[in-house]
Amino acid sequence: MIPEGWRFRKLEPFILPAIVVLVGFSAFGLGRLSALDQFSLQKAAANYEKNFVASVNGAKYYVLSCTGAEQIKEENRIWFATEAQAREAGYERVANC
């Protein structure tokens, strides 16, 4: 009669390397997925009409990721799709963003 643990003792040297390889492939796959998500977000932002914001009361315009853009009240915001549109409207880009 063969002991029950004998079958797995032969596989023991391969278990840890197999786990390491599977974790490596999983990490690589997740990294690829997150890179695709970032690319699609950037592409969507380029097609979105609200890329730049300015205050109706101010003279500067901001990129949406700028912290100054968050401080403008919603009712005072004016939106632009491109920097050229913001400049044509008489706004200047802020220096710190």
Could you read off the pLDDT of 34-87 as tens digits, one per residue? 776 666 656 655 556 788 999 999 999 999 888 888 899 999 999 998 899 999
Picking from 54, 65, 63, the residue whose alpha carbon sits closest to that of residue 88 is 54
Per-residue pLDDT at 49: 76
List, in sequence order, every residue forming a beta bridge with 78; answer none if it has no partner. Answer: 54
Question: What's residue 40's pLDDT?
Answer: 63
**In which element (H, E) is residue 97 found?**
none
Tell whether pTM > 0.85: no
Structure tokens at 86: 């913001």
What are the structure tokens assigned to 82, written together? 């491109």
- pLDDT reading at 19 higher than 80: yes
| Residue corresponding to tokens 């390889």 | 21
Query: Which position has the token pair 């009712």?
Result: 75
- Nearest 5 degrees, angle CA 73-CA 79-CA 83? 125
